[in-house]
Amino acid sequence: MSTTTEERSRQTESPLADPDFRDTLRELPPSAKLVAKVLEDAKPLSQGQLAEESLLPDRTVRYALNRLEEEDLVDSRYSFRDARKQVYFLD
18 within a domain of the structure (yes/no): no
pTM: 0.81
User: What residues does 89 pair with on adjacent strands?
Assistant: 75
52 within a domain of the structure (yes/no): yes
Could you tell me which of 20, 76, 16 has the C-alpha nearest to residue 41? 16
5 within a domain of the structure (yes/no): no
Determine which helix (DSSP H) or strand (DSSP E) holds 44, and give its type and residue range: none
45 within a domain of the structure (yes/no): yes
How far apart, in whole angstroms, are the C-alpha atoms of residue 10 and residue 19? 12
How far apart, in whole angstroms, are the C-alpha atoms of residue 24 and residue 72? 10
> In CATH, what number is assigned to the domain containing residue 46?
1.10.10.10
pLDDT one digit per residue (tens) for the chain, 91 residues: 444 444 444 445 788 888 999 999 999 999 999 999 999 987 899 999 999 999 999 999 999 999 999 999 999 999 999 999 999 999 8
